[in-house]
Structure 1
Amino acid sequence: MRGPIVGRDGVDYTGAMGAARSEVVAGVVVAALVTGCLDTNPWFEEPTGSGGASSGMLSPTTTGSTTAEPLPTSTTSSESTTTTTTESTGGTTSETTWIETTDTGTSWPLSTGTTEWFSTGDPWTCGDGVVEGPEQCDEGADNSDTGACTTLCTTAACGDGFVQAGVEQCDDANFNPADGCVDCVVPHTCKELLELHPQANDGQAQIDPDGPEPMPLIPVYCDMTTAGGGWTLMERSPYNDPIGLALFKDAPENSNTPLATRYRMSRGTMGAIAINSTAMRLDCGGSDYLLTDAQSLFLGDLGPPGCANSAPVLYQEAELKQYKLTNVQLCTVFVGLGDGQCPGAWSIDEENQYDCLLDGYPWAGNNEAISPSSVDAFAVDPQNVDPAHDCHQPGAERRIMLR
């Protein structure tokens, strides 16, 4: 009668029978678990057969007239080998079964970074021309930080910090509209900045009046509230300390400090902004203002020398002391005190319109003046003053702006 052939449960493999059956038991691995481990493996039943139970080792499952409970399927990846020995005694068949389990490992992503991750153990590589893992694109050697697919294998987009050639003008990867890059566009004027970012506030900003070349970004003051906003300041001249020079003269004042009380751009910068502008506004912070075409900025440049340098200017709107005119020509003097003690830079004398062959007293009409005699309205360097006029108030600042 043959006894069961067992493994490492303490039962001895004996005699030639063990040698004859060596091909069966050669690969057997016995699960050696102490009794305390059984609680964490509830699918194993407490062994009831003999043969090593008292040693504390897991005994083999012996089947006779009953069938052993099947082992449950593991949720981990593994390979199992089953070896069975059979013995008959007195008409009773006894089978002893041993289970060899080999863990084959589990595959899962080990990293989800943008440079390397693992699926079934193989890394992806940005630049190999194959879109895989977290890559949005991969054009191989054509990946470029100025192209449609960046060197990070991400699709080019505004805000990624890369400037896509032919699509973006800039990309600073932030949402500050005042730094010279708004939605990947470099604004030429404050008007363009406001169109790109309608929530922009009054204050200093960076613009590029002539595009990428040759002028760099420059600081400017943007008025985003007056008359719809989008105004770029050309000159700020205080009544108490006026600049007093014709606008066509190149006379910059604090040109890199647009928040200064006394401020004026260079003529070249003003001209570059005028090319991208349509309107010019002159006001002194109150209701009095003049509105004309942006190309009027340098009028008088080719005019006669001296204080006779004046000409009719077409104003879309002109308001003085609550008298408002539209689409009206007004004789305008372009030179001021700093140009040789002239009446005032960019001023209007409602009485003296005859030098331009225009009718006098245009505001009220019927030869009726609305200001004292010979007032140089809208000048902040006037020879003749109207104390009730916005531009002649103590502390007044005249602004000339383009949009």
Structure 2
Amino acid sequence: MPALRKIIVAPDSFKETLSASVVATEIAAALRAQLPHCEVVELPVADGGEGTLDALLAATQGQRRIARVHDPLGRPINAEWGLLGDGDTAIIEMASASGLALLAPHERNPLITSSAGTGELIRAALDAGARRFMLAIGGSASNDGGSGMLSALGLRFLDQADQVLPPGGAALARLARIDLAGLDTRLAECSFAVACDVDNPLTGSQGASAVFGPQKGATPAMVIALDAALAHYARIIHATRGLDVAQHPGAGAAGGVGAAALAFLDGSLQPGIELVLDAIGFAEQLAGADLLITGEGRLDGQTLHGKAPIGVARRAHAAGLPVIAIAGSLGEGAERLRECGFRAVFACVPRPMTAAEALRDARERLRHTAEQVAALLALTDRD
């Protein structure tokens, strides 16, 4: 193997444990120790979930802002949003206001959790003068079809008695009509690029409830109820806006926020990783590189549906670079990554263990795995 002159380290975060920048730092440190002659470039990425705000503000020398909003259970919190370096584009990271990480495991209940805080962040950016938006919708705690977000922007979701529905996905089963009269008029002046980390439809076996509901606390019975509620919601949206969102790719992102953005914000759904890679000048960074290392907390079949590692790998392959991945763990379907061009995939979890144990020692396990990968590369690195 020829000598490695330049390695790009471009991981996503290990969800709920390590940020993308920490993951990149640990991998890069191991590489530099074993390959001191090699240039190692740390390029943490995100795909529309946690870390997207940080990646884009760093890449564009943007400004971080704070707004007082409500978390998925309606509790007041401070949440971050950002103004990119162009001074005109707001970056709204849903995870900051409506993210799963804001809730303790026992609090996760997609029947009642709401995306309202995300709408409040948008409103804060509107108040600050922003009219161009990048909406990063990964990492959400809600399954409410974006109704909470839209309610914060002035829509009213009403039942048969013309009463406003309570927050949460379950209530959408009682939706009779959507009152558009109060929608913030400033939204007509805005554009929304919606960064999705998945391409799932709103409903069905690959929809928001079935695929992502369980990680948000849904039992099998809840999944059935939530899917039926979102299907009903989609019918009301069709009657209201003339748009069929149920099977639109990406409509199921963030528990249906993708559908809400399509129907009421005239949003353009785009792979989040593509938006981020363009913003951080990824193509320019690849020049002269010999290898790319990526990864995320869990690599499985879902990774192929628009997650950061597959987006990074596709760009690297187009530039002729081999790609390897380091993951916290591997799940069902991970073997398909080899079919998509990954030369090798390494997991940090070496044996069966509880989730709590794996999360507790995540950084140490990552460091050990990165050291092993670096040692293997050094063994085969020859002038």
TM-score tier, shorter chain, comes to: under 0.3
Structure with the greater relative contact order (CA < 8 A, sep ≥ 6): 1 or 2?
2
TM-score normalised by the chain length of structure 1: 0.22
Larger radius of gyration: 1
Query: Could you say which structure has the higher helix fraction?
Result: 2
**TM-score, structure 2 normalization:** 0.23
